[in-house]
């Protein structure tokens, strides 16, 4: 028969074991609950951004999304400032030409050169003003928001509306643009199907005008620059306040027009090359990636909207007959572009866009 001491020790042993196990059981339950909450939180977080197409590029876009948002909104608000700047700079050049350059031309040039400068200068100015006004005020074209029978390529992920071929979403305008080329802050408008011709014509005639001014005022600029430099000599030549203002204005005119001629001329040549190939700025990047993808498969990519060099320019300018080169290209014209921007004639290369 076991003694009472053994019974007491047995009870104490069981009690101590129970006291040791109770906190452990509580911690296990608590840690298990925390682990479940942690796993659920991770699953919930992944459900917000996980996609089977997620890649490093997608992650990088997400990281830079606040910067994109800031740039888009700054561009939208500063568009008015850029337009005002274009108007102010162009007006200053015109005023200097009328006050400083034309008097010299009238007093020292032959009659035929005077007529040339008057005719060409005013024609160029008219084309610049007309095309800039049309480029800034003409709607680039939007896809229809309601249900339509027009064929579409895909659904815009931001607008959630059918997106026709060559249409792309502009994050600054917050809408899809027909045949979108880019959003131009200097126009405060998107360049699309209905104002692409106005934009390119403005760039072309503005470049021509800046080249014309820089060449015509080159001798006047050299004389004005030498006069300004001579003012630092001892003794300094005596110039009136009006003469000093004319010298500074001529230097300002030549530096501004020469700089714009180089920068805008390069942009104009770039867009001319795109028009020659029958593509926009956005399509150029898409077609380049598509060309690389098909090259790996031993195939060649052909732009379905490329109809030949001459035909591309005719389609772009809306030229249908020979006289249209004069009335629609060399003179101000508000004619609409060919097509509605929703459907495109690409039957020429439809059967061999991926020819081996």
Enter the pTM of the model: 0.79
- The boundaries of the domain holding residue 246 are 60-348
**Residue 13, domain member (yes or no):** no
Please list the ranges in the chain whose pLDDT falls under 50. 24-26, 348-356
- Interatomic CA distance for residues 284 and 272, integer angstroms: 13
Considering 170, 184, 203, 213, which one is annotated as catalytic? Answer: 184
How much is the pLDDT for 251?
A: 95
The token pair at 141 is 């074209």
pLDDT in tens, 163-173: 888 999 988 88
**Residue 181, domain member (yes or no):** yes
- Interatomic CA distance for residues 202 and 200, integer angstroms: 5
- Interatomic CA distance for residues 105 and 125, integer angstroms: 18
pLDDT in tens, 32-63: 778 888 888 887 777 776 666 666 666 777 77
What is the DSSP code (8-state) at residue 184? Answer: E
Classify the C-alpha dihedral 283-289-292-295 as positive or negative. negative
Widest Cα–Cα separation across the chain: 143
**Residue 198, domain member (yes or no):** yes
**Residue 35, domain member (yes or no):** no
**Residue 45, domain member (yes or no):** no
How much is the pLDDT for 162?
A: 86
How much is the pLDDT for 33?
A: 78
Phi and psi angles of residue 331, each rounded to the nearest 5 degrees, phi first? -130, 155
How much is the pLDDT for 269?
A: 97
Catalytic (active site) residue 184? yes
**Residue 52, domain member (yes or no):** no
How much is the pLDDT for 53?
A: 64
**Residue 23, domain member (yes or no):** no
Please, are residues 216 and 101 in contact by the beta-carbon 8 Å criterion?
Answer: yes
Q: At what angle do helices 111-137 and 65-96 cross, to 10 degrees?
A: 150
How much is the pLDDT for 85?
A: 95
- CA angle 185/279/148 to nearest 5° reads 85
How much is the pLDDT for 51?
A: 65
Q: How many domains does the chain have?
A: 1
**Residue 333, domain member (yes or no):** yes
How much is the pLDDT for 19?
A: 52
């Amino acid at each position: 028969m076991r003694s009472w001491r053994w019974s007491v020790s047995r009870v104490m042993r069981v009690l101590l074991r129970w006291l040791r196990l109770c906190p452990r059981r509580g911690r296990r339950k608590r840690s298990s609950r925390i682990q479940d909450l942690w796993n659920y939180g991770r699953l919930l977080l992944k459900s917000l951004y996980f996609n089977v197409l997620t890649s490093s590029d997608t992650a990088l876009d997400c990281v830079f999304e606040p910067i994109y948002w800031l740039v888009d909104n700054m561009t939208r608000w500063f568009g008015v400032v850029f337009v005002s700047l274009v108007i102010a700079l162009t007006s200053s050049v015109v005023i200097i030409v009328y006050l400083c350059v034309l008097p010299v031309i009238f007093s020292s040039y032959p009659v035929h050169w005077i007529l040339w400068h008057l005719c060409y200068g005013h024609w160029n100015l008219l084309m610049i003003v007309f095309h800039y006004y049309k480029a800034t005020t003409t709607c680039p074209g939007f896809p229809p928001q309601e249900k339509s029978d027009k064929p579409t390529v895909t659904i815009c992920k931001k607008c959630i509306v059918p997106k026709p071929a060559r249409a792309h979403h502009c994050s600054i305008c917050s809408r899809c643009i027909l045949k979108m080329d880019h959003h131009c802050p200097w126009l405060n408008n998107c360049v699309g199907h209905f104002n692409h011709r106005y934009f390119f014509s403005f760039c072309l005639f503005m470049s021509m005008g800046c080249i014309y001014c820089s060449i015509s005022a080159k001798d006047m600029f050299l004389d004005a620059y030498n006069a300004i430099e001579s003012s630092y000599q001892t003794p300094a030549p005596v110039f009136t306040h009006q003469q000093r203002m004319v010298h500074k204005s001529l230097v300002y005119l030549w530096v501004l027009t020469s700089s714009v001629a180089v920068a805008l001329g390069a942009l104009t040549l770039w867009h001319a090359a795109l028009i020659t190939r029958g593509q926009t700025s956005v399509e150029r990047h898409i077609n380049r990636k598509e060309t690389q993808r098909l090259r790996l498969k031993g195939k060649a990519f052909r732009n379905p909207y490329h109809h030949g060099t001459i035909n591309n320019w005719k389609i772009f300018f809306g030229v249908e007959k020979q006289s249209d080169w004069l009335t629609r290209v060399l003179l101000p014209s508000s004619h609409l572009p060919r097509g509605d921007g929703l459907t495109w004639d690409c039957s020429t290369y439809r059967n061999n866009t991926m020819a081996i």
